[in-house]
Amino acid sequence: MIEYLFALAGVMVMIRLISGPSFADRMISTGALINIIVTIIALESFKVGKDFYMDIAILMILLSLVGTLAIVRYMRDSDVF
Amino acid sequence: MFFEILSTVLLWISGIFAILGALGMLKFPDIYTRSHAATLISMGGMSLALIALILRAPWSIHSAKVFLVLIINLFSNPTSTHIIANTAYKLGIKPKVLVRNEWNGKK
């Protein structure tokens, strides 16, 4: 039942992801959408009862950080941090 | 039995937090305020739901993996939000609801 609430939140975030004015809105929306997807994967893993679904969640949350830092580092000129 | 009831209550609160954060993502006027809404989704929605799932089956390999995702999220989400907002300011996106600006863009 909680998955449907998170799915509705994901649809509303995806509207902002499509119609964001700048790239920063799209990066924020991508991070929020990946967080929602990881939460839905965790809920589904506890419903089914298998623990290898969480490996997918760990990979997604790590690749979210790496991808966000790579794209933002590309958009900016130089001297990050 | 107590952990089951506490887990269900925390799951419902996390779902309400996710809906409120998504409404904020739709209705807020600016990137700097939308980052607050995204943090509401991440912390209030995801971390609370993962804590509730850890309470569902404590001391197992399943909840250890959920705990690993929770710790990684607590470190990675402020980093990415800070670097996105800093880059947006540096590329010239001005805040719309700003009262007084005390930072001139230099380090």
pLDDT digits (tens, 9 = 90+) for B19-71: 999 999 999 988 999 999 999 999 999 999 999 999 988 888 999 999 999 99
Mean pLDDT of A6-10: 93
Contact status of B13 with chain A (Cβ, < 8 Å): no
Upper half-sphere CA count for residue B48 (Cβ side, 13 Å): 21
pTM: 0.89
Radius of gyration for chain B, computed over Cα atoms and rounded to the nearest angstrom: 18
Q: Does B9 touch chain A (CB under 8 A)?
A: no
CA distances from B26 to A40, A52, A69 (A): 21, 34, 24
> Which tokens is B44 given?
């209030």
Q: What is the rounded average pLDDT of the residues B12-22?
A: 93
**CA B46, CA B39: separation in Å to the nearest integer?**
10
Q: Dig out the tokens for A32 from the structure.
A: 């929020």
| Minimum-distance CB partner of A6 among B18, B73, B91 | B18
Task: Name residue A35's amino acid.
Answer: N
Domain ranges for chain B: 2-90
Residue from B67, B76, B89, B94 to probe the interface with A (highest A Cβ count within 10 Å): B76
CA B93 to chain centroid: 22
Is residue A6 within 8 Å of residue B18, measured between CB atoms? yes
Q: Is the pLDDT of residue B107 over 60?
A: no
In chain B, what residues touch A31 (CB-CB under 8 Å)? 38, 42, 77, 80-81, 84
pLDDT tens per residue across span A45-80: 999 988 899 999 999 999 999 999 998 888 876 554
Look at A12 and B23 and tell me if their CB atoms are within 8 Å: yes
ipTM of the complex: 0.88
Min distance B82 CA to chain A CA atoms (Å) = 10
CA of B91 to nearest chain A CA: how many angstroms apart? 7
User: Which of A10-14, A21-25, A76-80, B29-33 is predicted least confidently?
Assistant: A76-80
What's the CA gap between B12 and A2, in Å, rounded? Answer: 7
Closest B-chain CA to A18:
B26
